[in-house]
Amino acid sequence: MSEQSDKPLQIVCLASYFKGVDFLSECKQQGARVVLITKEKNANEEWPRESLDDFVAVPDDVTTEQYVEIVSQFGRQRRIDRLVALEEFDVINAGLMREHLRIEGMTVTLARIFRDKLTMRIRAGEAGVNVPEFVHALNYNDVGEFVNRVEPPWVLKPRSDVSAVGIKKLDEAEHVWRAIEELDARERLRERSGYWLLERFVPGEVYHVDSLINGGRVIFAGANRYGRPPMDVAHKGGVFLSYTVARGSREERELLRLNQKLVKTLGLERGAAHTEFIKSEEDGRFYFLEIAARVGGAFLAETLEAASGINLWREWAKVELAGSEGSYVLPDERKDYGGIALSLARQEEPDTSRYTDAEIFYRVRKQHHVGLVVGSKDQQRVRDLLDDYTRRFAEDFIAVVPPRERIE
């Protein structure tokens, strides 16, 4: 470690959901003092207790001010050196705490860019990255001009929720105005139309880039393609698929270039990022959808590890502990292929013991979920396995539930 040679660094981690086990374990392995703050609903999850020096479960409705006070208590006897958000919904709170306690890392102003789909679109467009036409769903004149100028269909998206949560596809202007009226009637102020954007729907295939950043530069990244757009899976159910893009292909080069440009433009200095693009079936170009300052969900870190040998959680922990003054060296990377098939399951604990392919790298263990991550030197073998699992999951496991309007 580069700081406080006489004492281990103290790192405080926030996790509103069960995420980042490998991050926590790696921090302890690197000699840090590790504090985890999570919500009561997650208290009984399988956290790596042996790697935690302190564990705090806060009320599920904890306020930002309470969070700041709780974290401040850890700073009274021992300096807090790092404060990290392991989950999307903690990014802004972590920024507020860093500013309050004067800890190095992402400020709340920067954090808001990575939590606000409207802001990130504006910044990306200014940097010359293709973005579907959009409008803030606030000013009636602006919305009216947009629906008159831009051909339907459109998608109405919450500015701060993740993935496809809350997204509505609309085909007529009347449906847009009705949706805005319904939003403005909601009791929660943060769910009203000012917290939404309207965007041109771009038909095409969705891709994602998951990366590690240090010193404002992407030092490792992997480009994957979803089997079906996440919005389709969220609204219609079925198997979620993701797999590595062909190594050295034009698609991979362009995705990595755009990701690097976005990271630099938006100002992410250190950490992990998950960026999504859609390749338009109309013009073949990539359009920016969103970027998050975190490790991608849905076991994408395991998928990336199957292809590269790089565990994004563990390497992020090393980068975080090294800080702005320390040194970090990325392990050697494999150039193989990975993929994941993941679905909701009607069984509480699905049994995948009959799936015995040698390429299986990781088996998802999560209640009412079934998932297999595979790795191979052969991209076609990965695709064939995912196709096989899609068919078999439909027979053995699949359950479908209505899409969520919000994440509680």
pLDDT digits (tens, 9 = 90+) for 237-268: 789 999 999 999 999 999 999 999 999 999 99
Maximum pairwise Cα distance, the chain:
66
Phi and psi at residue 40, in whole multiples of 5°? -55, -35
Task: Give the residue among 368, 377, 372, 366 at the shortest CA–CA distance from 387.
Answer: 372
**What letter would DSSP give residue 348?**
S
> Residues with Cβ < 8 Å from 117, sequence gap 6 or more?
157, 158, 159, 160, 197, 290
Are 208 and 275 spatial neighbours (Cβ–Cβ below 8 Å)? yes
pLDDT in tens, 95-117: 999 999 999 999 999 999 999 99
- Quick one: pLDDT at residue 168? 92
What does 62-109 look like in DSSP terms, one character per residue? --HHHHHHHHHHHHHHS---EEEE-SGGGHHHHHHHHHHHT-SS--HH
> SS3 of 236, please?
helix
Task: Round to whole Å and give the CA distance between 250 and 230.
Answer: 23
Is there a contact between 153 and 169 (Cβ–Cβ < 8 Å)? yes
Q: What is the pLDDT of residues 325-340, one digit of tens each?
A: 889 999 999 999 999 9
Q: Distance between terminal CA atoms of the chain?
A: 38
Q: Which residues in the chain land under pLDDT 70?
A: 1-6, 161-165, 234-235, 400-408
- At residue 236, the pLDDT reads 73
For residue 338, give the nearest of 253, 207, 242 by alpha carbon.
242
- 270/235 Cα distance (integer angstroms): 34
The two three-digit tokens of residue 173, written as one number: 């202007």
Ranges assigned E (strand) in 245-358:
270-280, 286-292, 337-344
pLDDT at 232: 74
pLDDT score for 324: 85
In this prediction, residue 1 carries a pLDDT of: 46
> What predicted TM-score, i.e. pTM, was given to this entire model?
0.92
Q: Please report the domains of the chain, with CATH numbers, ordered by start residue.
A: 10-113 (3.40.50.20), 133-200 (3.30.1490), 204-396 (3.30.470.20)
3-state helix, strand, coil in the chain (%, to 5): 35, 25, 40
pLDDT at 282: 96
Helices then strands, counting H and E runs in the chain, come out as: 12, 16
